[in-house]
Every structure is written in structure tokens, then in C-alpha cells.
Amino acid sequence: MRVIVNEPLVTKRSTWGRRIMSVAFAALVFSVVLSLKRETVLAAYGVMVAGLILVNVGAAYGGKWLRDPRPDQVLDKALKGLNHGSRLYNYLLPVDHVLLSSVGLLVLTLKTQDGQIIGHGDKWQRRLNLWASFMAMFESKLGNPSRQARNEAAKMESWLHTHLPDAAVPVRPVVVFTNPKAQLFLTEPSVPAFALADLKGHLRTALKERPLPQTTLKALTDLFDEQAP
């Protein structure tokens, strides 16, 4: 499997992530200083709120761009040995992670949260203890993974239709939980969802389906490779 990463974008976003988190923590510290004086207490609240907003923005950046290893690097390691004809595109297309294979496209929606992840159909919940709940303030939110995955797949389909309107290409959404500390309790999820350790097995099964015509596969490969900086 070949892996293609938009390295310039990674460098740019990681730099912005560090800057946002630095400003956020500086704002929180400054709010504490302001709160020590009665006449600046109200200002302290305003600065604190601004700091917390920046913390949430920075957490979203941090979970994707500052984590070591980054989610795309974790995905790359987990999929080593997959069919040599497959190509994994990271941060180059309308969605973050797209696996181009002989049978079509898989849009991989990565979730980095740990704890108990409970999914029933299209409903999701994350259960944490008190300390983990506090730490979750500095992480990206779980949200609704299946809905996010469907939206990303639809976005990819729309982009494909614009660039290759005559190509019939299956686009399948898949949710992947990359944190080894995530405990998954899934009941009939509306979108296939797996722990990272189980993803390769799912993909190997999927790759046994009817392959795309070689002309379509080449057109997809050429189009995707053109997006590389």
C-alpha cells in the first residue's frame, strides 16, 4: 500500500495549533491575574471565556495535527501489508483520509477518543470518569461519528461527480477508533465502525469484492495524484 500525505498542510496546521494553544493558556493565566483585583474581576471573566473558546479550538487542532503520532501515521502503521495496489490519501482530498482500492473508495473517519464508546444505530455516547471528563475539555469531541462519516462520504461523492462525472465508483464510509484505550460497545451501527486493530481484517474482506474497471481505477489514481502539492 502506498501512502500519500499533504506534508505542507500538516506543517502549516500544526504551527497554527501550537500558536492557538499558547494564546489560549496565556489568556487563562491572565484571567487568573485579573481576578486578584476587585476592579478587574469582570474583565477576568471575559478573558477566561475567550481562553476557554480558544482551548476548544486548539483541542480540535491538537487532536489532528499535534498528536504524536498523528492519526494518519497511526493509520499508516495499522494498514501496513494491505493490498499493494491500494493507496491511502491523507489531507489531499475534500476529506482527510481516503483509501483508494481496486473495489472503490473507503472514506475513513478517524476518532481519537478513549473511554467507553457506546453506539446504537445512529446514537452515540462516551462514558468517562470524573478526571477523564475534565481532561476531555482539552480534546476534540466525539460528536456523532456515523453522521460525520456519512457527510464525509457524501462530500467525496459530490467532488468525484464534479471531476469524473461518468465514473461509477462506490464510496463507503467507515468509522475508525484509533485510540487503543477506547472500549467499543456497538449495536447495529448505521455506518461500519471498528477499532483500529480490526480495520485491516475488514478491509481485506472488502477487497475481495468485484473490482473496478482498470480504466476507472487509473482515472481515479491520476486525479488523486494531481492533488498532491
Encode pLDDT of 24-66 as tens digits: 889 889 888 888 888 888 888 898 888 888 877 777 766 677 7
Same domain for 201 and 177: yes
In this prediction, residue 131 has a pLDDT band, given cuts at 50, 70 and 90, of low
In this predicted model, what pLDDT tens digit does every residue of 173-195 receive, in sequence order? Answer: 999 999 898 899 999 889 999 99
Q: Are residues 108 and 169 in the same domain?
A: yes
Among 91-100, 131-140, 178-187, the range scoring the smallest mean pLDDT is: 131-140
Q: Which of 11, 40, 66 is the last residue of a domain?
A: 66
Q: How confident is the model at residue 136, as a pLDDT?
A: 57
Say yes or no: 86 and 155 in one domain: yes
Q: Does 146 lie in the same domain as 34? A: no
Domain boundary among 43, 66, 89: 66
Q: Which of residues 26, 43, 66 is at a domain's end?
A: 66
pLDDT recorded at residue 216: 93
Answer yes or no: are the C-beta atoms of 38 and 120 closer than 8 Å: no
Contact criterion met (CB below 8 Å) for 203 and 136: no
- Count of structural domains within the chain: 2
**Does residue 93 sit in the same domain as residue 184?**
yes
In a shared domain, residues 126 and 34:
no
For 40, the domain range is: 2-66
Residues 17 and 103 in one domain: no
Does residue 94 register a pLDDT over 70?
Answer: yes
Tell me the C-alpha distance between 173 and 111, whole Å: 13
Residue 135 has pLDDT above 60, yes or no: no
Distance between CA atoms of residues 136 and 79, nearest Å? 28
Does residue 126 sit in the same domain as residue 158?
yes
